[in-house]
Amino acid sequence: QQQVKQSPQSLIVQKGGISIINCAYENTAFDYFPWYQQFPGKGPALLIAIRPDVSEKKEGRFTISFNKSAKQFSLHIMDSQPGDSATYFCAANVPVYGQNFVFGPGTRLSVLP
């Protein structure tokens, strides 16, 4: 119940295209859902995050769509650029003392020039 499932494992997109990464969870107590971006040799960096009281959040070319009833959320990268090539992780957290972040397995995105 603590798992977060993520798909696809890898994704190849042409420059200018839309990249879509999906995540699903079971624990309805999760109430904070961040996405992290990780480049080779670097630690993950927070990209965008959402709480389940909103269905969509947009920051620049990055959008999170959240479906509370389906317990699913997704990351959309519009106008994908080669510089977006990285590994993306979704995560979930119950911000209660004694809890910790659970991460999805990651999606390796390659944007072709």
Partner 1 sequence: KAGVTQTPRYLIKTRGQQVTLSCSPISGHRSVSWYQQTPGQGLQFLFEYFSETQRNKGNFPGRFSGRQFSNSRSEMNVSTLELGDSALYLCASSRGLAGGSNEQFFGPGTRLTVL
> Which chain residues interact with partner 1 by CB under 8 A?
32, 34, 36, 41-46, 49, 89, 93-95, 97-106
Smallest distance, Å, CB 26 to partner 1?
A: 17
HSE-CB of 87 using CA atoms within 13 angstroms? 14
Which tokens hold the place of 90?
A: 């979704």
When the beta carbons of 6 and 74 are compared against partner 1, the nearer one is 6
Hunting for tokens 């957290």 — which residue is that?
93
Q: Which is nearer to partner 1, 14 or 53 (CB)?
A: 53
What's the closest the beta carbon of residue 33 comes to partner 1, in angstroms? Answer: 11
